Amino acid sequence: MDRAFRALIERTFGDLLTGPVRQRHDETEMRIRPGDVPAVVRTLHDDPALGFEYLGDLAGVDTGTDFQVVYHLWSVVTPDWLRVIADGIPRDQPRIPSITFLWKGAEWMEREAYDMFGLVFEGNRDLRRIYLPDDFVSFPLRKDFHLPDDASRSPGGGVRPMEDAATPADAAAATVRRTATAR
Amino acid sequence: MTTPTRPSLDDPALTIALEHAGIFEPIPMARTERQQEFYTLGDGEMLLNMGPQHPSTHGVLRVVLKISGEQVVDLDPVLGYLHRGVEKIAENSDFHHIISQLDPLEYISSLFCEWSPVMSFEKLLDVQVPRRAEYIRVLTGELNRIASHMLFLGWYALDLGGITPILWSFAERDEIMEMLAAVTGAKLLFNYFRIGGVNGDLNHEFMSRLGDWMGRAGAQLEAGMGLLNENEIFVRRARGLGVLDRETALRMCTTGPNLRASGVPFDIRRAHPYSVYPELEFDIPTRNEGDSLARYLLRMDEVRQSLRIIDQCLHQMPDGPIMARLPRLLRPRPGRAYSAVEGPRGQYSCYAMSDGTDQPFRLRIHDPSFLHLQLVGLLMPGNLIADTMAIMASLDPVMGGVDK
Amino acid sequence: MVSAYWNRLSLGSRAILVLVPVLLVVGAVLTVAAALLLGPLLDFINANLPLGRFVLAATALIVITIPIAFLIIYMELKVIAAINLRVGPDRVGPFGALMSVVHGLKVLSKEDFTPLGVDVPIFTLAPIVVFASIPLTLLVIPFAPGLYGQDFNLALLYFFAIGGMSVVGLMMAGWASFNKYSLLGALRAAAQAISYELPLTLSVVGIIILAGTMSLNSIVHQQAGSLFDWNIWKQPLGFIIFFIAATAEANRTPLDMTEADQELVAGFATEYSGMRFGFFFFAEYVNVFVVSALSAVLFFGGWNAPFDWPFPVTVSLDPGGLGLGLIFLIALAPVVGTIILGLPFWLLSSRISTLRALVTGFVLFNLLIVAAFFGWAFVSAAWVSGLVWMMLKTFVFVFIFVQMRGTLPRVRVDQLMSFAWKWLLPASLLNIFVTATAVSILANR
């Protein structure tokens, strides 16, 4: 845990942070609003005092109530992994700015997040399904998606022809099954 | 019984069927700007569908090439043929069970697929891994790295049309796999690392095989590399092919040997030390050319460094327990953990979220092959069809990891 | 009654019972027919001897392509296996020697389908065109004194002309296949043929200048003598160019652009299956043989021995002189030979039974006799020794081709082209220039 780094983050991003900067093991975690992602990421990348040149990971998360996009960054200034959580993306409007302007390599990771969560990354030139077929309609890693074998009554068991044609009229709406206890 | 008549190509119904079968130019309904751009053919351009059943796409990958003559203008990789939704599976399995689910992600170097999830679970649980277990992890991991890099040598040569190196490198790989089989019990998908340690201590068979192999490993590996290192045809084909410069490499989130071949000395073993790597002495080989030859030679240098690490592990390994004391049923307290390891292909990382139950709330697997395959679209345009496979193989993606 | 006996018989016995009478009848009919027709037939052949000779040679050449291809395939399997640290085929036949036969049977028994959308007549004809050019080129190659299909004064030109025909077949295959990979493979084949036919043809011009003829038979005759009379000493550069260009011509690694399987799946042959596919590969392997044979003929003295045969061997065996003793010799020699050759094994160890020692002796004796027979044929018949030398040289080159395939990666298609145009072509022109200058200087002196 790098206390000095925590202070640096708090000092740099003061009012952009939506929650406390948390630290555990070798990770430092900061939370921001999804709209602030480009500004924050650009500062992290370009500021010589920070110098987060390396994007370790980009992950979508469904907390059960809303979505998050989690970035992991690495820099020489701190021994910690920096975790940037873009918090509170609403379920009905899952939109977040893309970071492909900075890391072109995030394009496919954003495509994956779109494929799995339906997160729309604005500014990604190629935002389409990457693993699943193009005509797939649901988003499997959302918490209201049922595994086909554990809920056969779920509309469209993830099987393409069935999904296209055979959604029963009286199919029960999928429900959120799990919600994160720790935000 | 009636003999079926041969359908005529002029039949309009058949034309539609052929279009659906992808025999004619497949121009799907463009969903994105990029797709629109790709599937719009310029003068003298045509689409060539490579894969998913192509002899050398390293697994089940489909690449749509836009070619002009023999020159590749653009390409569009189509993934998902091996997708099995391992992240979803992980959300519905308990923490111990997940390890075996993650093995087949990268069947070439499966220990590294286990390593980063195990590390992140340990962070969630605040477990201290015994030092002997850490040494065993490093030892087996480095062996696996050598096996993986030697296989890379073979595949790379095979994609350039040389059929011998693959079998030479398989001889090497076989010895290492036998070794690991002796200690893990499996030859390919080891399922060896456990939360808090490893599954079994080093046994006599492993040690005797390893000692036997270490005596001749250096010479044997050099002999394998010698097949290609000084081969004029090989060097001429690989040099200057698919050059990836430093800035682009970072911008494309490249990791591992591909990044280091572009002149960035970034190795998680040193950049963000984990396990017992801080106690071990080894170099991070780096090259500045960034071409296919550099990527190949860099991996070969890494093999030499791995041999050094193995040697040190054998000398420094302490006695002691190999597993931390843990309850059978793991219920970590709610939280998030991220861990990354340096595998033979780059950064294998895992982001785990727990909500206090015995199953992770969210498990994100990050695989280097996925990002390296993305690089192909950047490096390929302008090269010949003959080089598609050469560039792809030099980036060394494994489709199991790409498709998750 | 009859059926009870019939039911007791095994399948083989039933077959024999049926076949023997049939064969007897057929044999009788054939004998009668031969007796009636042989006279006129022989008269006809005598009247058209050159034609008969040609038909015989052509038939023989088509037929020998089969064992040659099988031998080369087996050789390739085994040699590359050795390079690859593998064992190679070892199940079918002794040391897996029948593996290529089994391959042939497999190819024959596979479904031979025509995919949708192909240009059917051209698609069907292409393998035939590719294959047909091979026995035609074999026709002019002299294998031994007096053992050649045709000898005429344009043989070399004819060889290259017909050899270029196979490319037409490849183009047909690639175009008709309705597959982009096939088309790319075919276009590569055409480009490669155009690039490499040129240095290939020009590289032998030096030899034509030296020999003053294009007849392969005369070229071989002019190289008679010892090792140092071969053309390789006069045309080393020509040979190197010829060999590289021939590798490209025969589509062998490292220059096998047309069916680079890592790039173009199988090139022109992608859509073919069954025996049509087999024809392509059959042609490829026979082509390796043809090119090797031509290298041996042009540069390595053809059927000539590498040294002057130092002593004239005349073996005058007159078995008739032995009279009745001959019968005793034939009857006793195997017995005595078996015992003599088996005795050391019998004495060697008590673990070797008498029977085993005798069997070993018998086998050894037979080998000895066969060796003696071939030795006798070798020294007394010029065509036997010529054939042996020719085959030895040819298979040395075949071995080099096979070994290259095991060792080298493939060059890139643009490197291949630039190598042909920028290096091989100027080098072959230089070779012609130097040869012509030297010949004219030596002639005027």
pTM: 0.81
Looking at residue A70, what is its pLDDT?
92
Looking at residue C319, what is its pLDDT?
66
Looking at residue B138, what is its pLDDT?
92
Residues of chain A with pLDDT under 70: 135-137, 146-183
Contact present, B and A (at least 3 Cβ pairs less than 8 Å): yes
> Do A92 and A41 belong to one domain?
yes
B80-121, pLDDT tens digit by residue? 888 888 888 888 888 888 888 888 888 888 899 889 999 999
Looking at residue B10, what is its pLDDT?
60
The C-alpha R_g of chain B, in whole angstroms, comes to 23
Residue C84 within a domain: yes
To the nearest whole Å, the CA of B153 is away from the closest chain A CA by 26
Query: What are the residues of chain C with a beta carbon less than 8 Å away from any beta carbon of chain B?
Result: 80, 83-86, 116-117, 180-181, 184, 188, 253-254, 256, 260-265, 405-415
Residue B367 scores a pLDDT above 80: yes
Residue C45 scores a pLDDT above 70: yes
Looking at residue A165, what is its pLDDT?
41
Please indicate whether, in this complex, the C-beta atoms of B233 and C84 are within 8 angstroms of each other: no
B222-249, pLDDT tens digit by residue? 888 888 888 888 888 888 888 888 888 8
Residue C93 within a domain: yes
Instruction: Sheet with A54-62: list strands edge to edge.
Output: A22-24, A27-32, A81-89, A67-74, A54-62
Looking at residue A157, what is its pLDDT?
42
C73-130, pLDDT tens digit by residue? 899 889 999 988 888 888 887 888 888 888 888 888 888 888 877 888 888 888 888 8
> Do A142 and A173 belong to one domain?
yes
Q: Count A/B contacts: CB-CB distance under 8 Å.
A: 125
C288-338, pLDDT tens digit by residue? 999 999 999 888 888 888 877 666 566 666 666 677 777 777 778 888 888
Query: What is the average per-residue pLDDT within B342-362?
Result: 89
Distances (CA, A) of B297 to A19, A165, B286, B389: 47, 53, 10, 18
Which tokens is C114 given?
Answer: 């025509």
> Do A116 and A57 belong to one domain?
yes
Contact present, B and C (at least 3 Cβ pairs less than 8 Å): yes
> Do A61 and A21 belong to one domain?
yes
Instruction: Say which residue, B394 or A166, is predicted with more confidence.
Output: B394
A127-147, pLDDT tens digit by residue? 888 888 776 667 888 887 765
Query: What is the average per-residue pLDDT within B133-161?
Result: 89
> Do A49 and A125 belong to one domain?
yes
Cβ–Cβ < 8 Å for B242, B252: no
Q: How many domains does chain A have?
A: 2
CA distance B306 to C6: 75
Residues of C in contact with B391 (CB under 8 A): none
C226-242, pLDDT tens digit by residue? 778 888 888 888 899 99
Please indicate whether, in this complex, the C-beta atoms of A74 and B356 are within 8 angstroms of each other: no
- If residue C279 lies in a helix (H) or strand (E), which one and from where to where? helix C274-299
Query: What is the average per-residue pLDDT within B301-330?
Result: 88
Query: What is the average per-residue pLDDT within B34-56?
Result: 79
Looking at residue B338, what is its pLDDT?
92
To the nearest whole Å, the CA of B376 is away from the closest chain C CA by 16
The beta-carbon neighbor of A125 closest among B28, B33, B250 is: B33
Residue C31 within a domain: no
Residue C24 scores a pLDDT above 90: yes
Residue B163 scores a pLDDT above 60: yes
Query: What is the average per-residue pLDDT within B211-219?
Result: 86
Residues of B in contact with C405 (CB under 8 A): 163
**Closest by alpha carbon to C294, among C394, C208, C210?**
C394
Residue B39 scores a pLDDT above 90: no
Residue C330: which residues within 8 A CB-CB, separation 6 or more? none
> Do A33 and A88 belong to one domain?
yes
Lowest-confidence range among B65-69, B318-322, B395-399, C323-327?
A: C323-327
Domains assigned to chain B: 86-403 (1.10.645.10)
* Structural domain boundaries enclosing A137: 132-183
Please check whether residue A1 touches B, CB under 8 A.
Answer: no
Question: What SS3 class is residue B198?
Answer: strand
Q: If contacts are CB pairs under 8 Å, which of residues 105-134 in chain B contact chain A? A: 123
To the nearest whole Å, the CA of A110 is away from the closest chain B CA by 12
> Do A56 and A125 belong to one domain?
yes
Question: What SS3 class is residue C49?
Answer: helix
Please indicate whether, in this complex, the C-beta atoms of B80 and A133 are within 8 angstroms of each other: yes
CA distance B207 to B336: 38
Residue that the structure tokens 């890391």 belong to: A103
Residue C26 scores a pLDDT above 90: yes
To the nearest whole Å, the CA of B390 is away from the closest chain C CA by 9
B271-290, pLDDT tens digit by residue? 888 888 888 888 899 988 88
Residue C9 within a domain: no
* Structural domain boundaries enclosing C393: 54-310+383-444
Lowest-confidence range among A108-112, C131-135, C249-253?
A: C249-253
Q: Which of A130, A150, A167 is the last residue of a domain?
A: A130
Model ipTM value = 0.83
Residue C331 within a domain: no
Query: What is the average per-residue pLDDT within C123-146?
Result: 86
CA distance A171 to A174: 9
CA distance C416 to C427: 15
Looking at residue B24, what is its pLDDT?
47
Cβ–Cβ < 8 Å for A29, A83: yes
> Do A65 and A115 belong to one domain?
yes
Q: How many domains does chain C have?
A: 1
